Amino acid sequence: MDLHFDYTRSLGPVLGPFLGALGRKRIVGVLGSDSRVHVPPVEYDPVTAAPLTDLVEVADIGTVTTWSWVPDPLPDHPLDRPFAFALIRLDGADTTMLHAVAAETPEQMATGMRVRVRWADEPAGAITDIACFDPVPADTADERPRLSDDELAAVLTEAAQTISVAPISLTIDHSASAEESEYLRALKEGRVIGGRCPATGKVYVPPRGASPTHGLPTDEIVEIGATGTVTTYCIVNVPFLGQQIKPPYAAAYILLDGADIPILHLVLGVAADELRMGMRVRAVWKPREEWTYSNQNIEHFEPVDEPDAPFESYEMHL
């Protein structure tokens, strides 16, 4: 399973100038109540919890305080060859920041070594403007002149950003258990099954390797109907990237007939403001030729012409 979305957030008066300054190949921290300079900057004082706004420039060179070698980089790591992750205290800062050091071998790494920022070719006002850090001779000092207070204020005002958009991706490889495998094979045949707890008699959908209440195997397979009751629901009103259905629409927890735990699925065929707890619904399956080993064989649920279920019939399943 591959999940992709853009994480969007507002930045405020501290992180906005911090990222904007990176786009100008400058690094700023924030001054705390105890006179420590925090880099990356924090929005609230770790001592008093008061808002912090006093931004100060620090160097793009610093000292490694601790490190760990990465012999086999993953696809999303900052470097595509072996490197070190290190905590680095920049000159002028009192806290450390985590980043990659482009050392050739682990023998080149050492606590106390000096490193300098390697800037991205085209800074864009993001943390990735710091491509990595490069080792430099031990006697290397910060020789780049700092901006004056007025110059720094002008840069931060001009560069400050209000919104940050970070692409997020996650790949999940899941090994299905024996019980899950049986459940998925049933879906491939257009059936829904559950597993019964031998102690309580409760039926769990999908079936589980062990009952969550007694730890006993739920190895008695039970055929479950494709109709059920809406126990609770959420109306989705906000559009987002990759959305396949135009809002508003409803995602609901549905207690299938014969089951003792609800499943989450879409409910269509009814106006979002007409959906209600207790509404009776049934599964709408994709065409048989599209069935695979997936919950997505059920395209959505839709209302059926039945009286609403009484609250007492599902109150223990909310």
- Per-residue pLDDT of 274-306, as tens digits, reads 999 999 999 999 999 999 999 899 999 999 999
CA distance 122 to 140: 25
- Domain ranges within the chain, ordered by starting residue: 2-170, 178-317
By CB atoms closer than 10 A (0-12, 13-18, 19+), residue 192 is: buried
Give me the pLDDT at residue 63, please: 97
Give me the pLDDT at residue 241, please: 67
Of 312, 310, 314, 189, residue with least CA distance to 262: 314
Mean pLDDT, range 87-109, rounded to an integer: 97
Decide if pLDDT at 240 tops 80: no
pTM: 0.62
Residue with tokens 């490193």: 115
Of 233, 242, 234, 208, residue with least CA distance to 222: 208
Decide if pLDDT at 156 tops 90: no
| Residues 250/272, Cβ–Cβ less than 8 Å | yes
| Residues 278/308, Cβ–Cβ less than 8 Å | yes
| Residues 12/39, Cβ–Cβ less than 8 Å | no
Quick one: which H or E segment has residue 306?
A: none
CA distance 85 to 24: 24
| Residues 278/311, Cβ–Cβ less than 8 Å | yes
Q: Is 129 left (phi over 0), alpha (psi -120 to 50) or beta?
A: alpha
Structure confidence by residue, pLDDT tens digits, 18-60 = 999 999 999 999 999 999 999 999 999 999 999 999 999 999 9
Q: Torsions phi, psi of 78, nearest 5?
A: -65, -20
**In angstroms, how far apart are the furthest CA atoms of the chain?**
81
Peptide bond into 206 cis (omega under 30): yes
Fold of 2-170: OB fold (Dihydrolipoamide Acetyltransferase, E2P) (2.40.50)
Tokens of 167: 């692409």
CA distance 202 to 47: 51
CA distance 168 to 138: 37
Give me the pLDDT at residue 147, please: 81
